[in-house]
Each structure stands twice: as C-alpha cells, then as structure tokens.
Structure 1
Amino acid sequence: MGRRMVLLVVAVVMAVLGAGLVYAYAQGAEDRAADDYDTVEVLVARDELAPGTDFRQALDEQRIRLVEVPNGVLIEGSTADNRPFEGQVSLTTIYPGEQIIADKFGATEDVDAVDLLPIPQGMIAVAVELSDTGRVGSFTQPGSRVAVFVTSASQDGGEDGLGEPARLIYPDMQVLGVGSRTLPRSEAVGPDGGPIGETSVTLLTLAVTQEQGERLIALQNNPEKILAFGLRNSVSDVVPSPDPED
C-alpha cells in the first residue's frame, strides 16, 4: 500500500509539472506571436522604382512612404530613417511593397547603365535630338511607339513651291527614354532685335538595330536633313516611303 501511495504521489507530481511546462510553452508561444504582430514604421516603396530613381524625389512624390509593418515580416536593414539615403539612387528595380534597405541604394555612378534602359535583346540604344514639334509635343514618353520621318532642311523649289516632302523611313520604333538638354545662349539676333536666349531640345532614346542606328546618326549629323517623329499605336497604318539617297 505504501508503495502504491508513493507511485501515485509521483504520478501526480509529474502531471502537475507536465501541465506547468505545457502552460509555460503555450504562454511563451503566445508572447512570441504577439511580438510578431506588433508593428513598427519602416520605409516602403509604394510604386515600382526603376534603377537610377532618386530617393529624395521618390520620397517627395510619395512613391516611398512610412508604413507600419509587423515585426514578423521585417527584413534586415529596413528603417524609418531617410537620412542615410539622401543624395542616393536605387541601384536595382524596387517593387511595390518592398522595404527600403541600404543595400539597394547608392551613388549614381554605381548604377549599371545596362539596367537603366530596358533595351530589347539584340538591339542598342541611340539618342536623337528633336524639337517639341518634332517629337509630337509632350505626348511621346518612354514606352511610346513612333514612326520616324526625314525631310530636307531647305524647302526651296518643288513643283508646288513647298520643297521636298517628308519621307517615312522607319514605321515603328520603341522609345526607351525621354530627356532634354539646354543649348547655350546664341549671339544671333531674334525677331525683336535682341539676342536669342538659351533654348532646350529634347533627347529621345530609341531601341534600334545597328543598321538603323548608323542611319539615324548619319541623318542627325547631316545639316541638310531634319528628323521628326510621328506618334503611333498598334492600329496605325504606316508604310515606309521609297528609299532615295539620304
């Protein structure tokens, strides 16, 4: 009888200890879960940021903003402090909802130029200078499709007195980028008798084959020729003109 009592007491003690351990584990798991669901503010991309995107500009445009994120999904290096990123640009594509970390930002010169433009396989990027009218105003943007025309800089002569007509040389090209540069003040005199001030020209970067690039560069550098673009879409009906000597 005494031995049975001892075994019973031992069993009760073990059961109590087991229950205590289970409770302690469950309580710890609950606390850990609560910690995982506690939130903290970190910088997060709202929109997709292409390589070379300026951090300050993206922040001012609210493309990067502070978001409360559960502790359980924080990644190493995430922060709410924008100061380390000032003056830096994204080094790679950053996707919507991605937390901002230092490893993905750096100086402009650290960006791989190949990543800045989505150049199709087998093609190269060539920049062409155009006026606003030559690029269809402000409607031509990265991703646009354009038809390329060339005409003579001199419009004297011709049967109707209008000079040489423009010719379509490339019916469909992809615009990779749009930029601008300022031309210095000219010493020439404008219509009002005053000096011509600084002017801006648009730089359109196109995806081209080597042969197309060679031809566009030659036309661009020929003072007797003028290039112009026509904005097009998938249903535009354009056919290249006959190909006389440029």
Structure 2
Amino acid sequence: MGRRVLAIFAAAVIALIGVVAVLLYARGADARAVSANEPTSVYVSTKPIPASTQLKDAVRSGMLVKTAIPAKGVPAGALSDVNADNGSLVAVTDIAPGEYVLASRFGSTPQGSKAIEVPTGMVAVSVSLSDPARVGSFVTPGTHIGIFDTYKVASAGSSSASAANGAGVAGTSVLLDDVLVIGMGSTALNPGTPTTPGAAAPAAAAAPGFLVTVALSPHNAARLIHAISSGSLYAVLRSSDLKMANTPTVTDLNLFSGAGQ
C-alpha cells in the first residue's frame, strides 16, 4: 500500500514538473517572439554612395537614412549608429541604393587601387579650395557645383582691357557652370608653412586648402587647369535646374551698378 502511494506521489511530482517546464518554455518562446519583432534602427542607402564618401556626409546629404525594422530582420553587423567615433570613416566601396548598410562598408581608406570613379570620356582634375570656397562641408561626391574665376581684366582681352590696363582691375566670371564632384580631400593641403631659420615670418598665414576632385571633358579640364594657375577660384553649390552660362561678368568697375558687363 505504501509503495502504491509513493508511486502515485512520484507521478504527480513528475507531472507537475512537466507542466512547469511547458509553462516556462511557452513564456520564453513568447519573450523571444516579442524580442524578434521589436523595432531596431538601422541605416539604409537611398542613393548611390560613391567610395570615399564620409559617413557623416552620407547621412547629412540623405544618402543614408535611419529606419526601423523588426530585430529578426536586421543583418549581422548592420550600421545602427553614426557618431563622433565613426562619422569620419569613408565608404570603402561604392554602395548601391536600397541596401541595409553594414558597418564594415565604412573604413579609414577606400579599397582597391581606384578610389574614385571617373565617368566615361572625362578626366579627373583636383583643385585646392579654401573651406568657404568649397561651400564648407556641404559639397560631397556626387553633388554638382559651379566654379567662378576671379582674374585680372587687363589680361583677359575683354573690351574694357585697354581702360583697365595697368589699373589692376579684377573681374569675376562663371568658368564652369555644371561640374560633377567625384572626390573630396579629408585634410588641409597646407595646414602650416614652415619657415627657414633667419627668414622673415609671413605677414599672414594662408587659408587651409582642401582638395576637391571633379570630372570634366578634356577641353574644360584644360580651362580649369589654366584658371588654377592664373586666377582665384570659388565654388558654388547649384540647384539642379539652374542655368549659369549667361551670368554676366562682374568687375571692380561695375560692382555696384546692378548690371553685368
């Protein structure tokens, strides 16, 4: 009789343990299901991101946007945060639109021997511009800019050259009205000018220059290269529908007249 009671008690205990185990498993499964469907923020590319584009610039220009997806759909290593620690990293390869971007797609240097992609039939030309002259940090690879050139009117062969000759009159004109940027330098080209012992210190330090690389036809490349050596260049960030080719020249003589030359 005692053995039968003991067996019944043991069976009841085993059944109770089984019920508790099933309840615990069900509760854990529910928790895992809820966790798998919890929204998690990741970055998705909305536009092509050229190699060498800085991560912070890609976010600022809308190439990368943060979106929320269920945790179970997040790829391993997905980029989930952009901050001071990784914002200066650059795209190591071109990134196509529509990707859940992995953090590993950004690093310190682009991969391979070709850091920029030059469009067919064009050449790449790099020009050093001061921070204001490159529109601060708002110009990024893939944007379109216009380039103005300031030069001595007397050397330009214009109708006013004879009157301006010897007077040091300067003029500013549109040199290139629509230029594709394909690369940006990340550091100043002339952060400081070393001086020779005993030499006089320069009167004023030159403004740091930043490298902007653009794609041009060979003819326009020759024009830009000549302007680099003979004039002073300034870039503007243009809208997609802007027409700048007929912008009149402004000189010291008509600066306040309200009309171009």
TM-score, normalising length: structure 1: 0.51
Residue 126 of structure 1 aligns with which residue?
125
1-structure distance, mates of 2:171, 2:245? 16
1-structure distance, mates of 2:81, 2:245? 53
- List alignment gaps of at least 5 residues for structure 2: 1-27, 156-160, 249-261
Instruction: Name the aligned partner's letter for residue 209 of structure 1.
Output: S
- Select the residue among 165, 176, 181 that pairs with 1:175: 181
Q: Is the 8 A contact 2:75 2:100 kept in 1?
A: no
Q: 1:46 to 1:182 in 2, by over 3 A?
A: farther
Residue 152 of structure 1 aligns with which residue?
152
- Select the residue among 233, 245, 261 that pairs with 1:238: 245
- Select the residue among 100, 103, 106 that pairs with 2:102: 100
Root-mean-square deviation over aligned CA pairs? 5.0
2-structure distance, mates of 1:89, 1:139? 14
Report % sequence identity. 16
Count of matched residue positions in the alignment of Structure 1 and Structure 2: 193
1-structure distance, mates of 2:201, 2:154? 21
Q: Is the 8 A contact 1:150 1:169 kept in 2?
A: no
1-structure distance, mates of 2:218, 2:152? 24
Instruction: Name the aligned partner's letter for residue 228 of structure 1.
Output: L
Cα drift, residue 108 of structure 1:
1.6
2-structure distance, mates of 1:211, 1:97? 37
Q: Specify the SS of the correspondent of 2:163.
A: coil
Q: Is the 8 A contact 2:179 2:215 kept in 1?
A: yes
Cα drift, residue 145 of structure 1:
2.5
Instruction: Name the aligned partner's letter for residue 211 of structure 2.
Output: L
Cα drift, residue 228 of structure 1:
2.1
Cα drift, residue 158 of structure 1:
5.2
Residue 51 of structure 2 aligns with which residue?
51
Mapping of residues 22-171 of structure 1, within 5 Å: 38-39=35-36, 44-45=42-43, 50-52=50-52, 69-71=70-72, 73-75=73-75, 89-92=90-93, 93=95, 98=100, 100=102, 102=104, 104=105, 108-110=109-111, 113-114=114-115, 116=116, 119-131=118-130, 135=133, 137-138=135-136, 141-142=139-140, 143-149=143-149, 151-152=151-152, 159-160=163-164, 161-163=167-169, 165-171=171-177
Cα drift, residue 37 of structure 1:
6.3
Q: 1:101 to 1:42 in 2, by over 3 A?
A: farther
Say whether 1:185 aligns with 2:183: no
- List alignment gaps of at least 5 residues for structure 1: 1-30, 242-246
Instruction: Name the aligned partner's letter for residue 229 of structure 1.
Output: Y
Q: Is the 8 A contact 1:184 1:199 kept in 2?
A: no
Q: Is the 8 A contact 2:174 2:244 kept in 1?
A: no
Say whether 1:213 aligns with 2:212: no
1-structure distance, mates of 2:137, 2:168? 28
Q: Is the 8 A contact 1:54 1:89 kept in 2?
A: yes
Instruction: Name the aligned partner's letter for residue 145 of structure 2.
Output: R
